[in-house]
Chains A and B, each alone.
Chain A
């Protein structure tokens, strides 16, 4: 069987037996009840386009754009369907088709993914613009849940780590994490140093991991960003990532770049919790354990599949509360909240209910390790902390870094 207009691997497409077990694990299906907003429906739609039964235009294109790419379906799929591959490949074809809409979206992508995110200075400048916009209440509605409440404190550069060199481990700092979640980086650095290793951060070449570009079907941009990232962290030292989305992207460089160097690079990548659990004993509570609600970022649970490390790392020191929603996506999804605000809001609402049901409140924080989730949940009124911050507080309670603000 040959592939059709989308250029999908027929073997991957054929692996779906339409059993429907993915449906309840798909956030867009959960909030719409529509087959076309489900993984099974999307695969059937891809099939229809590939076999010429449906045209490669709307509503197919809209259906592809509605997917959060949380990959809850991959975790649920007993047949091992590579839904993420199929979706990225479809989006890549869609991104490169002709027409004004596609052209505009490519131009936007080129600016956002190539010029803005990877460039710390531009991003920092933009952050101040956004801060002002927030103060003047002129922030566009669709960006409200993807940009956290910015303060001068939040934008302060407090991370003090050597740049480049030959460290024992690399701390990958990324784009948005570096701009808006410095406190997490500081805590991560403290946690890493507590294990006795010398750490360094990569130079400005490793500005963005390229995940957002890849999710949007812009593999060309993602590849060039990935090459810079690989070049910025040479050697054999482990690469520690504290953003679930970036970690998943770095671990996938082997596939993205398709060469042996990239494979070797990818094998060096670890999520911070994954690495800490393997290196050190988890801290134990000295007094009454504080309750924390665990939220698994999709890219930790469904892609890296290392979400249990967070529990192993923190279980001794905190009372971990679990949600009863099979680790459903929070709706943030990188650029998803901005691109699909309606769906995103519905999904976040569902997540918020699950978190509250699990015990999250003004007193009980949510533990999450992905910037997108963190911002969306903060916007939904939750107090969000990163596992590295909780860990660092345990091993060095007086490290003087405020956890919030």
Chain B
């Protein structure tokens, strides 16, 4: 039984009090669900016990780190048990010589980089929420971030995962040695949004801090010019460490919060970073300056100090939160288009927002074509939510039509599962469902996510409520 292990009297191990449960009914996305109970495991055996108990009782379960996801991936449905990893937040070990670290899933992304700092190393994936998001959540969503342009998303930085599989078994996926014979199970696990199990330990790669970094701010009088500059930089064979774009509304909102000296009157700014050895950095910086000017950049500003660089980045990374200064609600999308299509797609999505009488702004990872169209609104206005959703769907459709994908880093979660059929054929989705069914035949691991309704065989037969008394 659950009671002896996760008794509510051991108040920090499990809770079922209604107010507290309500706090776990959503993540940073907009969808609301309902948690049946919440527990706070301390190690893999706690997680395995919780999962095994769920399997026995037929109760679904959802893993949650910091709850900063935007696609509803950690939103519990059907009174699921929420398994919160915040108390599993240690750096277990750092091996500076082989540049790896074993960490627990609840460790915050930025805390990992802090722990690596004394060795001159850092953890490369840096989602904008990196100060708050957890490594376990990063693994679940295959999180990205500005610097994934040159260094790749989370999956490129995870060597092995110890995971509790949906059947309650603990398995080690991947290895410190390369190319383990057999299937790359760590590969399929990363980005599986909690549907193939729960990570309890992660072996991550750390990378050396670059000897030289140059951060640049280019400002433009038109969005088209900025977007064309992005395409031109990539086409010129330059691979910046990061290449971000912000439109004028975002720039103004961020400037109010951070005061980073972003030009308030620019139609768009590009934040570009190049790193490496000095020759390459200087060469790329001057090429980027040239390309920017050729495309109409009004000013090209080079960060002169580390603090100036940090300030420029703080502005970029605070962008989403700073939106509340404009309107009380926002809906943030995440889609990727081929970089050569940026100009046309951007123009269309502004038109889509206009046609629905909505305010849209854009702050995104331009270098890899990863758009983040953001619609601000006030949900108290009658009918606005329907317009927001309609515009969102049209924007995604436009991105798909341009040869893009539904999500670059946030995940599909609850938010976009219905749109999966617009990107994948029925046969494609059937295969994905077969993969999920193979590891989770009862469909208890974060059900109702990623795959559209009707594809999983485990979807029927979920015991919808926890038996009375189990948790008290």
Direct contact between A and B judged by beta carbons closer than 8 A? yes
Instruction: List A residues at the B interface (Cβ < 8 Å).
Output: 1, 11, 14-25, 29, 32-36, 40-41, 44-45, 48, 53-54, 59-60, 63, 76-81, 324
Residue of A nearest to B20 (CB): A36
Question: Per a CB cutoff under 8 Å, which of B129, B133, B325, B328 touches A14?
Answer: B328
Q: Contact mask B55-96 → A, CB, 8 Å, 1/0? A: 000000000001110000000000000001011010000000
CB pair B26–A32 under 8 Å, yes or no, is: no
Q: Give 9 A-B contacts (CB < 8 Å), ordered by A residue.
A: A15-B328, A17-B320, A19-B28, A20-B67, A33-B84, A45-B19, A48-B22, A76-B131, A78-B324
Residue from the list A25, A33, A35, A63 in contact with B89, Cβ < 8 A:
A33
Q: Which residues of B contact A18 (CB under 8 A)?
A: 26-28
**Partner of B325 from A11, A20, A79 at Cβ < 8 Å:** A79
Pairwise interchain contact A16-B22, C-beta atoms closer than 8 A: no
A78 to B255, CA, bound (A): 11
Q: Is the CB of A34 within 8 A of B86?
A: yes
Task: Determine the chain B residues whose CB is within 8 A of the CB of A35 once the complex forms.
Answer: 20, 23-24, 67, 84
Given contact pairs A78-B257, A79-B322, A54 touches B22 in the complex (Cβ within 8 A):
yes
B106 at the interface (CB under 8 A from A): yes
Q: Which residues of A contact B304 (CB under 8 A)?
A: none
Cβ contact within 8 Å between B131 and A24:
yes
Query: Shortest Cβ distance from B115 into chain A, in angstroms?
Result: 10
Q: Using CB atoms, name the residue of chain A closest to B329.
A: A17
Contact of A20 among B89, B111, B132 (CB under 8 A): B132
* A25, B94: Cα distance in complex, Å: 24
Question: Does any Cβ of A come within 8 Å of B12's Cβ?
Answer: yes
> Are B23 and A33 in contact, CB atoms less than 8 angstroms apart?
no
Q: A48 contacts B19, CB within 8 Å?
A: yes
Q: Which residue of A lies closest to B67 (CB)?
A: A20
Chain A residues positioned under 8 Å from B450 (CB to CB):
none
Contacting pair B132 A44 (CB below 8 A): no
Considering the complex, give the chain A residue whose CB is closest to the CB of B25: A44
Contact: A16 with B20, CB < 8 Å? Answer: no
Q: Does B114 belong to the interface (CB within 8 Å)?
A: yes
- The answer to whether A24 touches B108 (Cβ under 8 A) is yes
Docked Cα-Cα span, A63 to B20, in Å, equals: 10
The answer to whether A20 and B12 touch across the interface, beta carbons within 8 angstroms, is no
| Binding site secondary structure of chain A | loop
Q: How far is the CA of A22 from the CA of B23 in the complex (A)?
A: 15
Give the shortest distance, in Å, between A134 (CB) and chain B (any CB): 33
Which of A15, A23, A32 contacts B132, CB < 8 Å? A23
A17 contacts across to B, CB distance below 8 A: 28, 320-321, 323-324, 328-330
Specify which chain B residues have a CB less than 8 angstroms from the CB of A19 in the assembled complex.
Answer: 28, 68, 129, 132, 320-321
Per-position binary interface string of chain B over residues 14-39, scored 1 when its CB falls under 8 Å from any chain A CB and 0 otherwise: 00011110111011100000000000
How far, in Å, is A25 (CB) from chain B's closest CB? 8
- Docked Cα-Cα span, A77 to B132, in Å, equals 12
Instruction: Give the shortest distance, in Å, between B116 (CB) and chain A (any CB).
Output: 12
User: Is B297 at the interface (CB under 8 A from chain A)?
Assistant: no
Closest partner residue, chain B, to A15 (CB atom) = B324
Judging by beta carbons under 8 Å apart, are A20 and B22 in contact? Answer: no
Which residues on B sit within 8 Å (CB–CB) of A59? 17, 19-20
Alpha-carbon distance A91/B117, docked complex (angstroms): 41
How far apart sit A14 and B319, CA to CA, in the bound complex (Å)? 18
Tell me the number of A-to-B contacts counted with CB atoms below 8 Å: 104
Q: Which residues of B contact A24 (CB under 8 A)?
A: 108, 110-111, 131-132
B173 to chain A minimum Cβ distance, whole angstroms, is 25
CB contact list, B270-313 vs A, under 8 A: none
Q: How large is the interface on B (under 10, 10 to 19, 20 to 34, 35 or more residues)?
A: 35 or more
Measured between beta carbons, the chain B residues less than 8 angstroms from A80 are 257, 324-325
Question: Once the chains are docked, how many angstroms separate the CA of A11 from the CA of B19?
Answer: 22
CB distance from A44 to the nearest CB of B (A): 5
B411 → A minimal CB distance (Å): 16
**Are B320 and A60 in contact, with the CB atoms below 8 A?**
no
- B23 contact from A15, A41, A76, A77, Cβ within 8 A: A41
Q: Is the CB of A20 within 8 A of B68?
A: yes
B86 and A33 contacting across the interface, CB-CB below 8 Å: yes
Taking a contact as CB atoms closer than 8 A, the residue among B114, B129, B324, B380 that contacts A79 in the complex is B324
With a cutoff of 8 Å between Cβ atoms, the chain A residues found around residue B20 in the complex are 34-36, 59
Q: Are B129 and A21 neighbours in the complex by a CB distance under 8 Å?
A: yes
B40 at the interface (CB under 8 A from A): yes
Of all chain A residues, the one with the shortest Cβ separation from B322 is: A78
Residues in A neighbouring B348, C-beta threshold 8 A: none
Least CB distance, B168 to chain A, in whole angstroms = 23
Among B19, B28, B86, B330, the residue within 8 A (CB) of A60 is B19
A78 & B321 in contact (Cβ 8 Å cutoff): yes
Quick one: CB contact mask for B316-338 with A, threshold 8 Å, 1 for yes? Answer: 00111111110011100000000
Q: Which residue of B lies closest to A325 (CB)?
A: B114
Known A21-B131, A35-B67; judge A53-B22 contact (CB<8 A): yes
B28 with A54: CB separation less than 8 A: no
Q: What residues of A have a CB within 8 angstroms of the CB of B12 in the complex?
A: 32, 34
In the bound complex, CA of A77 to CA of B28 (Å): 14
Bound CA span A11–B86, Å: 30
Contact partners of B133 in chain A: CB under 8 A: 20
A80 to B254, CA, bound (A): 11
Closest B residue to A11 by beta carbon equals B328
Asked if B19 contacts A36 (CB within 8 A), the reply is yes
Q: How far is the CA of A54 from the CA of B131 in the complex (A)?
A: 31
A14: which B residues are within 8 A, CB to CB?
328
**Chain A residues whose CB sits within 8 angstroms of the CB of B19 once the complex forms:** 36, 45, 48, 54, 59-60, 63
A23–B134 Cα distance when bound, in Å, is 11
Q: Are A16 and B324 in contact (CB under 8 A)?
A: yes
Contact B40 A33, beta carbon cutoff 8 Å: yes
Minimum C-beta distance from A48 to chain B (A):
6
How many angstroms between the C-alpha atoms of A48 and B28 in the bound complex?
17
The CA-CA distance from A35 to B132 in the complex, in Å, is: 13
Complex CA–CA separation, A80 to B323 (angstroms): 10
Nearest chain B CB to A396 CB, angstrom units: 34
| Chain A residues within 8 Å of B132, by CB | 19-24
Which residue in chain A gives the minimum CB-CB distance to B70?
A19
- Output the least CB separation between B4 and chain A (Å): 22
Shortest A123–chain B CB gap in Å is 37
Q: A24-B131, A33-B40, A54-B19 are in contact. List 20 more A-B contacts (CB 8 A).
A: A17-B28, A17-B323, A19-B28, A20-B27, A20-B129, A21-B129, A21-B131, A21-B321, A23-B68, A24-B111, A29-B86, A33-B84, A33-B106, A35-B23, A35-B84, A36-B20, A40-B67, A54-B18, A78-B322, A78-B324
Please tell me which one of the listed residues B318, B330, B380 contacts residue A1 in the complex, with CB atoms under 8 A apart. B380
The 7 residue pairs across chains A and B that have the minimum distance between CB atoms: A78-B321, A33-B86, A79-B324, A78-B318, A20-B68, A35-B23, A54-B19
Query: What separation, in Å, do the CA atoms of A29 and B134 have in the docked complex?
Result: 14
Known A-B contacts A20-B66, A33-B86, A324-B114; A44 and B23 likewise in contact (beta carbons under 8 Å): yes
CB-CB < 8 A to A25: which residues of B?
131
Q: In angstroms, how far is the closest chain A Cβ from the Cβ of B86?
A: 3
Measured between beta carbons, the chain A residues less than 8 angstroms from B129 are 19-21
In the complex, what residue of chain B is closest to A43 when comparing beta carbons?
B23
Known interface pairs A20-B132, A48-B22; A79-B67 also in contact (CB < 8 Å):
no
Closest to A22 in B: B132
A32 to B42: give the CA distance in the assembly, Å.
12
Complex contact B87–A20 (CB within 8 A): no
